[in-house]
Amino acid sequence: MVAHTVAAEIASLKWTRPEYIQHLKQMTNGKIDYSEAPAEDFARASVAFEDEQGRVIMVETTTS
């Protein structure tokens, strides 16, 4: 297989906002504090490659 293109992005859309940071801290009794260690809550990627017969294959994935 031969890769043609790979595109990806990640973002923090919700859990880095102050009101949600507080909500998450309350829900977890202070065990999770995204103001100290934020993480992304959205990601997507697409990959285009050729299979063994030379056909272009597209794969996409998302999470939120």
Which tokens hold the place of 56?
């272009």
pLDDT digits (tens, 9 = 90+) for 7-60: 999 998 888 899 999 999 999 999 999 998 888 889 999 999 999 899 999 999
**C-alpha Rg value of the chain to the nearest Å:** 18
DSSP alpha helix (H) spans, 1-64: 18-27
Q: What is the pTM of this model?
A: 0.64
